Amino acid sequence: MTQTIVIARYNPELDEKPHQETYQVQSDDNTSVLDALQQVQQQDPSFSFRWSCRMAICGSCGVMVNGVPKLGCQTFLRDYPVGLVITPLSNFAVEKDLIVNMEPFLEHLSAIKPWLINTAEGTQPHVQTPKQLAKYQQFANCINCGLCYSACPQFGLNPEFRGPAALALAHRYNLDSRDQGKAQRMPELNAKNGVWTCTFVGFCSEVCPKKVDPAAAINQGKVESAKDMIVSAFKPTGAR
């Protein structure tokens, strides 16, 4: 059958601001938003958007569908009988059509030192029990799609906020039994754009396509941050 979809278009070389256009696409029970976008690109080769794996693991194809952040490949036209309006991910600068500027996201991610910090040398694996793995595993499943940043009202107000994915990733490493870098990450979490900027709206966790639950990570991060700040208050400066 034929379905109508509305897409936000913007060409910075021609348009003053984004506008909406209507397209007809062929759809059946299996047609995803990504499939529909590809059909539109066939009709108009100048239409640009990001995609790659089409199986919800590469994190490229995040868009707003009727105002809600979604992965295009994991969202199906069958669930929108009254129609769809597809716009670029909110809270990011629009570059062209559905392509947004992901650089701020990458900067936030890098800022929290998202790598295992452990000075010990060794040629064998660390011991890590399934229970220790389970403590952080969920937070290691983030695909960096950025949907949570589009869902986050605080990030919308303050782009300096490290944001849900970065803070969840910091928490992931802090919880890893092999990691010794928590003390190095806490200043960033304690700082003005760290965990305390979050007002626990929780929409980030609702839209997460991988059930990472960044809101829980940030909340747990607040507990850690509070402990860290209390401990710091009783330590002479420069003790760490």
Partner 1 sequence: MLQLDMDIIVVGGGGAGLRAAIAAAEASPTLDVALVSKVYPMRSHTVAAEGGAAAVTLSEDSLQSHFFDTVAGSDWLAEQDVVEYFVQHAYQELVQLERWGCPWSRKNDGSVQVRRFGGMKTERTWFAADKTGFHILHTLFQTSLKYPAIERFDEYFVLDLLVVEQRVAGVLAIRYSTGELVQIRAKSVILATGGAGRVFHYNTNSGIVTGDGMALALRHGVALRDMEFVQYHPTGLPGSGILITEACRGEGGILLNKDGYRYLQDYGLGPETPLGEPRNKCMELGPRDRLSQAFWQQQKLGLTGDYQGHAVVYLDLRHLGDKHLKERLPLICELARDYVNVDPAKAPIPVRPAVHYTMGGVMTNIDCQTSIQGLFAIGECASVGLHGANRLGSNSLSELLVFGKVAGERAAAMALQNDFVSHQSIAEQTARQQALLSVLQGHNTDDSLVAIRTAMTKAMEEGCGIYRDADSMQYCLDHLISLKQRYQALKVEDQGKVYNNALLQHLELGFGLDVAMAICSSALARKESRGAHQRLDEGMTTRNDTEFLQHSLAVQQQDGSIDIRWQAVTITSLPPAQRLYGDCGAVNEGKTS
Does the protein bind partner 1 through residue 236 (CB under 8 A)? Answer: no
Which positions from 150 through 179 interact with partner 1, judged by CB under 8 A?
Answer: 169, 173, 176, 178-179
Among 1, 2, 16, 55, binds partner 1 (CB under 8 A): 55
Does the protein bind partner 1 through residue 47 (CB under 8 A)? Answer: yes
Distances in whole angstroms, Cα of residue 85 to Cα of each of 42, 76, 77, 177, 239: 19, 13, 11, 45, 55
Does the protein bind partner 1 through residue 130 (CB under 8 A)? Answer: yes
* Structure-token pair, residue 165: 């994915």
Which positions from 8 through 27 interact with partner 1, judged by CB under 8 A?
Answer: 11-14
Cα distance between residue 66 and residue 49, in whole Å: 17
Nearest to 168 by CA among 100, 112, 209: 112
Among 64, 102, 189, 217, binds partner 1 (CB under 8 A): 102
Helix axes 164-174, 103-111, angle to 10 degrees: 20
- Shortest distance (Å) from residue 111 CB to partner 1: 10
Complex with partner 1: residue 144 or 219, whichever CB lies closer: 144
> Could you tell me which residues are beta bridge partners of residue 120?
none
Using an 8 Å Cβ cutoff, are 179 and 119 in contact? no
- Shortest distance (Å) from residue 64 CB to partner 1: 18
Does the protein bind partner 1 through residue 141 (CB under 8 A)? Answer: yes
Distances in whole angstroms, Cα of residue 168 to Cα of each of 68, 105, 139, 227: 21, 13, 6, 18
Does the protein bind partner 1 through residue 135 (CB under 8 A)? Answer: no
Does the protein bind partner 1 through residue 1 (CB under 8 A)? Answer: no
Sorted by sequence, the CB contacts under 8 Å of residue 67 that are 6+ apart come out as 85, 87
**What is the distance between the terminal CA atoms of the chain, rounded to a whole angstrom?**
65
Binding range to partner 1, per CB under 8 A, among 104-112, 150-158, 189-197, 219-227: 104-112
Read off φ and ψ for residue 5, nearest 5 degrees: -130, 150
Using an 8 Å Cβ cutoff, are 177 and 128 in contact? yes
- Shortest distance (Å) from residue 165 CB to partner 1: 11
Binding range to partner 1, per CB under 8 A, among 97-105, 160-168, 185-193, 223-231: 97-105
Task: Give the footprint of partner 1 on this chain (CB under 8 A).
Answer: 11-14, 30, 41-42, 45-60, 74, 95-97, 99, 102, 106, 109-110, 113-116, 118, 122-130, 132-133, 136-137, 140-141, 143-144, 169, 173, 176, 178-179
